[in-house]
């Protein structure tokens, strides 16, 4: 064991200095085309569909089907059911992916409203008397930290079942 350690150290010391450099040169200039700092997402002016791709699709996938294997529920044709139970509307704002997203309050309201369109992710799961989210509502709700995501979600799913809503979120609870 000791001889392996000594041999490893000898190899590391024998490597050319150019290959062993781990700390970047502080005087190094930006690559061409990369001279200006990146614009924050909240200021970039992307469309709502692009914001979905940047903030949600990594887990819920581009079409909202989620992934049971990764414990990510389906939004497609289901997410609107949360608006049918007490606490569900706030839950959608408070889930970490929403509440902690890089979007500002108005963008987050737009994203939620985009998801709730009948021709959007929610499909026919949206209640008939849907009231669109506002930036003010998002601002008042998103900072109320959701401490028990699975427990809160399970309570809302139980409320949906009690109303006779078929649970088709891909999670098989």
Provide mean pLDDT across the span 120-147.
Answer: 94
Structure confidence by residue, pLDDT tens digits, 110-130: 999 999 998 889 999 999 999
Bridge partner list, 67: 72
Instruction: Annotate 10-32 with b (16+ C-beta within 10 A) or e (fewer).
Output: eeeeeeeeeeeeeeeeeeeeeee
Provide mean pLDDT across the span 63-87.
Answer: 90
The rounded distance, in Å, linking the Cα atoms of 6 and 1 is 9
Report the percent of the chain where pLDDT is more than 90: 49
Give the pLDDT score at 12: 63
**Domains defined along the chain, listed by start:** 44-162 (1.10.760.10)
Give the pLDDT score at 22: 58
The rounded distance, in Å, linking the Cα atoms of 77 and 133 is 19
Structure confidence by residue, pLDDT tens digits, 17-64: 555 555 667 777 777 776 777 778 888 888 999 988 888 888 888 888
Structure confidence by residue, pLDDT tens digits, 159-170: 999 999 999 888
| Among 142, 140, 145, 167, CA closest to 82 | 167
């Amino acid at each position: 064991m000791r001889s392996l350690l000594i041999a490893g150290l000898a190899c590391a010391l024998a490597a050319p200095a150019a290959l062993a450099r781990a700390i970047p040169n502080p005087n190094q200039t930006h690559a061409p085309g990369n001279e200006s700092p990146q614009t924050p997402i909240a200021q970039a002016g992307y469309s709502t569909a692009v914001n979905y791709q940047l903030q949600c699709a990594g887990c819920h996938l581009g079409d909202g089907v989620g992934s049971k294997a990764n414990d990510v529920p389906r939004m497609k044709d289901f997410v609107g059911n949360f608006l049918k139970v007490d606490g569900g509307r706030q839950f959608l704002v408070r889930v970490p992916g929403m509440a902690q997203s890089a979007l500002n309050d108005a963008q987050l309201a737009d994203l939620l409203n985009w998801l709730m369109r009948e021709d959007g992710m929610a499909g026919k799961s949206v209640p008939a008397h849907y009231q669109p989210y506002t930036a003010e509502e998002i601002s008042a709700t998103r900072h109320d930290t959701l401490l028990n995501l699975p427990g809160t979600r399970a309570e809302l799913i139980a409320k949906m079942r009690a109303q006779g809503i078929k649970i088709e979120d891909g999670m098989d609870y």
